[in-house]
Structure formats: structure tokens, C-alpha cells
């Protein structure tokens, strides 16, 4: 991979570093994400599918881009100026719901202004104030994940006052860039390019402009990092204002190998690396990735390694991957030793939701002994009892578990539901003239 590194002086006003912001958005992981999202969105517009499907596809693409934009903002705010975005613990997927809520609220208020007869002048003032406040609102959402804080007027004034000159300049930049996009770039693309290419250019540039705007917001936060007290939310405070920025020519297949390695799939990573090498890719990066995949593929992880991986995937909201790792571990006749009791509860819930209940007994085994005071004891064993009851061969075990929960944990909040369920099974059994539930 061809690496290019230079220093960025973050003391400069954002306009003087605008070339960096543009280059950031058309480089590395950011550009690949934008390109894939653009193609996905436009392809549905030109498919033979219904308008509803096309609308859903465009909405999904826009949601992904907004999530990426917020991640970019938070990443730049913590001092990462290179276009390789790390997942930020502050930016949950639910941020998209907040963006939708804000957009709908703005539209509703604007509609009500006209409906109540206040006129276009009032609507114009409202929209102008909204445009001015929106960057500060987005900054607060990125840093706090809270709409209440984002709409707190005192917090908004404080954020704007941190760099009031640059903030005003940024708002003007947003307005002018949008005008340039709508009045110049879009008509030019329509005039000189075929419909599909024109749409790709239009959508792609719109996404890139969004990324640039959010990147600049992150840059403004970083410039005022000491005023924002970012260390209080877990950001490492960087004292140096001259930051090293690395640009790299991304090879998509190499990134795919890295993803498989990160997802604990060394066999897939190895097969891709071998195929690329056989096709003539002799790059040093591929050789390094091949060696890493080979080492990871022949490595036998310990129980501690497995529990760490599972815990990491669960915390990253990837329960499917975590559950698959556990199942593969159990299938190899090894005992899974969870890192925390809560990991077991999360794995059980995923197993229920995904209808993969075969190994729930392995997960629940001795849970009440290992964690005698845990709040999920009754819930976890109740889930196991319900799974066991579905198989005629294990219904007696289900009965034993239910009776054990009723006798051992009479004050648990789930007991009324368990007793009702248990009573219902008895009635069904008697109605069918069965003796399993006397």
C-alpha cells in the first residue's frame, strides 16, 4: 500500500485546511463507504422494482451515510485526522432516529407557521435560525447522545460561543456550498452526463459534502477540546496542534481480508489472500496479511481468548458473531467460560430471537451456582424450560426446572409469569389426557 503522510496544523481556521477536508472525503475507508452507498442508492432508482422499494433503499443509504458522518465527526473531534474511521462508542445506531425526529419536527413547525397564518417571513426567520443552530445541535448529539442536551439553549449558546467567529463562517460555508451544489454542479451533471452517471455524480457529491460538513464540525470541536472537556467522556486529550495525517491508497480486496481477520474468520482471509497472490499481487501488504491469516488460522485459542472475543463482539452489538464463536467452541468439545454473567444472558436472548436454541442448555448450565445472586437466574432458566418443553423427550426436565424456580425463588419478579405458564401446561396436559404434568 502506498502511504503518504503529512502534518496538519489544527490551529488554522477550517477554511485554510479545506483541501484536507476534501481529500479526506475522497480517500481511504470514507470514500469506499460513500461510493458503495451511492451505487446502492442509485441502482435501486434505475431498477425495475417499485418506487416503494427504491424509497426504502434510498432511506437506508442516507441513514448509513448519516451514521458514518457522525462517526467521522466524533473521530475527528478526538484527533484522528486520517480517513480511517474507528467505531465511536458515543455514536449509537439510534442516532439516525434522532436525525429523523429533528427533520420531522422542523418540517412540522414550518408547516404550522404557514397554517396558522404567520406568513412566509416568519417561516424564513424560523428556517434561518434552524440552519444557524443545526451544527451546534449535531455537535451536542455526537458528544452526549442526548436530544434533551442538544436542545438546551444554554448548551447551544455555550457551544457556539467557543469559536463564534469560525462557527458563523462555517454556517455561511454550508449555505454557499449547498447553493453551489444546487445551482452549478447539479445542472452541469444533468447537461453533460447520461442519466445514470449524472445521478451517481449528484448523489455521490451530496454524500461527500455531508461528510465534509460533519468533518469540519469535528474539527471545530477538536480546536476547542479543552473547553469541551472531552476527557470527561473518555477522549484522550491531545496537546499537540500539529497532527500527523496518513493517506493510503486502499485496495478493496485487502480491506476485505482485514475485515475477515477482525471478525475471527482467518480461513476466509487466507483463501482470498492465496487467490490474490496467485493472480499476481506481490505487494508487501498482501504478504503481511497472508502471514497474519496463516498464523491466526493455525492458532488454537484458549478459553480466555474465546471469552474475550465473544465479550468484544457482544459489546460491539454483533451477537450473531459472538454466538457462532461460542457454538464452534462447544462443538469442538470444549467448555465455554464466559467473561461476565451478562454475556450468557445476551447469548441466550440472541439464541431465542434467532431460533437457535440447541445449545441453550450448555449456556445455562450451573448459572445459579456460578452467580448465586444474579438477577437473570430465573429468566435464563425459564428460557431453558420453555425450550425443553418443545421436545416431548425433555418435558420432564422442563417440569423439574419450573418447580425448582418456583420453590427456590418465590420473590422473583418473573414468578407470576412462570406460575401462569406452569399452570397452563398442566391444564393442556390434562385436557390431552397426558400424565407428564400430574
pLDDT of residue 423: 78
Cα(397)–Cα(389) distance, rounded to whole angstroms? 8
Helix H segments across 145-224? 147-150, 153-162, 164-180, 186-192, 195-223
Give CA 186 to chain center in angstroms. 31
Cα(388)–Cα(379) distance, rounded to whole angstroms? 14
Q: Where are the domains of the chain?
A: 3-248, 252-298, 303-431
Q: Which residues of 1-23 are buried (b: 16+ CB within 10 A; e: fewer)?
A: eeeeeeebebeeebeebeebbee
Which residue is associated with the grid cell 451478562? 342
Whole-number Cα distances in Å, 288 to 198, 267, 276, 351: 40, 15, 13, 37
Phi then psi for 132, rounded to 5 degrees? -70, -40
CATH code, 303-431: 1.25.40.10
Tell me the average confidence (pLDDT) per consecutive run of 10 residues in the chain, 438 residues long: 70 90 81 82 65 76 88 87 69 80 88 83 89 92 85 91 92 91 80 78 88 93 86 74 72 69 73 74 76 71 79 85 84 80 90 85 87 88 87 84 88 85 70 44
3-class secondary-structure state, position 353: helix
pLDDT of residue 424: 76
Amino acid at each position: 500500500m502506498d502511504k503518504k503522510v503529512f502534518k496538519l496544523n489544527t490551529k488554522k481556521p477550517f477554511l485554510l485546511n479545506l483541501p484536507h477536508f476534501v481529500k479526506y472525503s475522497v480517500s481511504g475507508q470514507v470514500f469506499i463507504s460513500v461510493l458503495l452507498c451511492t451505487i446502492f442508492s442509485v441502482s435501486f432508482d434505475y431498477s425495475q422494482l417499485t418506487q416503494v422499494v427504491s424509497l426504502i433503499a434510498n432511506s437506508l443509504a442516507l441513514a448509513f451515510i448519516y451514521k458514518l458522518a457522525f462517526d467521522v465527526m466524533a473521530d475527528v473531534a478526538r484527533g484522528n485526522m486520517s480517513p480511517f474511521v474507528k467505531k465511536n462508542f458515543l455514536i449509537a445506531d439510534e442516532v439516525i432516529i434522532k436525525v429523523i425526529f429533528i427533520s420531522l419536527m422542523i418540517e412540522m413547525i414550518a408547516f404550522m407557521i404557514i397554517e396558522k397564518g404567520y406568513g412566509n417571513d416568519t417561516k424564513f426567520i424560523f428556517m434561518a435560525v434552524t440552519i444557524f443552530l443545526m451544527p451546534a445541535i449535531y455537535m451536542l448529539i455526537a458528544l452526549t447522545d442526548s436530544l434533551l442536551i442538544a436542545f438546551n439553549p444554554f448548551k447551544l449558546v455555550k457551544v457556539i460561543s467557543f469559536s463564534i467567529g469560525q462557527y458563523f463562517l462555517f454556517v455561511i460555508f454550508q449555505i454557499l456550498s449547498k447553493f453551489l451544489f444546487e445551482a452549478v454542479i447539479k445542472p452541469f451533471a444533468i447537461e453533460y452526463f447520461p442519466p445514470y452517471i449524472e445521478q451517481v455524480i449528484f448523489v455521490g457529491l451530496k454524500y461527500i459534502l455531508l461528510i465534509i460538513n460533519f468533518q469540519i464540525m469535528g474539527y471545530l470541536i477538536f480546536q476547542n477540546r479543552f473547553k469541551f472537556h472531552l476527557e470527561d467522556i473518555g477522549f484522550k486529550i491531545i496537546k499537540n496542534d500539529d497532527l500527523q495525517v496518513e493517506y493510503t491508497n486502499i485496495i478493496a480486496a485487502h480491506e476485505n481480508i482485514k475485515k475477515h481477520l477482525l471478525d475471527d474468520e482467518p480461513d476466509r482471509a487466507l483463501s482470498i489472500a492465496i487467490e490474490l497472490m496467485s493472480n499476481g499481487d506481490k505487494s508487501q501488504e498482501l504478504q503481511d496479511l497472508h502471514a497474519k491469516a496463516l498464523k491466526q488460522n493455525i492458532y488454537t485459542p484458549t478459553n480466555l481468548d474465546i471469552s474475550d472475543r465473544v465479550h468484544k463482539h457482544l459489546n460491539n452489538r454483533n451477537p450473531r458473531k459472538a454466538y457462532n464463536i461460542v457454538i464452534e467452541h462447544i462443538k469442538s468439545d470444549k467448555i465455554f467460560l464466559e467473561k461476565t454473567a451478562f454475556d450468557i444472558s445476551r447469548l441466550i436472548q440472541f439464541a431465542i430471537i434467532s431460533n437457535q436454541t440447541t445449545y441453550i442448555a450448555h449456556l445455562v448450565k450451573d448459572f445459579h451456582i456460578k452467580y448465586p445472586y444474579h438477577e437473570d437466574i430465573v429468566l435464563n432458566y425459564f428460557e431453558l424450560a420453555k425450550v425443553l418443553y418443545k421436545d416431548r423427550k425433555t418435558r420432564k426436565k422442563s417440569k423439574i426446572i419450573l418447580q425448582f424456580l418456583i420453590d427456590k425463588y418465590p420473590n422473583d419478579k418473573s414468578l407470576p409469569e412462570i406460575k401462569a405458564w406452569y399452570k397452563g401446561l398442566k391444564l393442556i396436559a390434562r385436557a390431552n389426557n397426558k400424565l407428564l404434568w400430574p
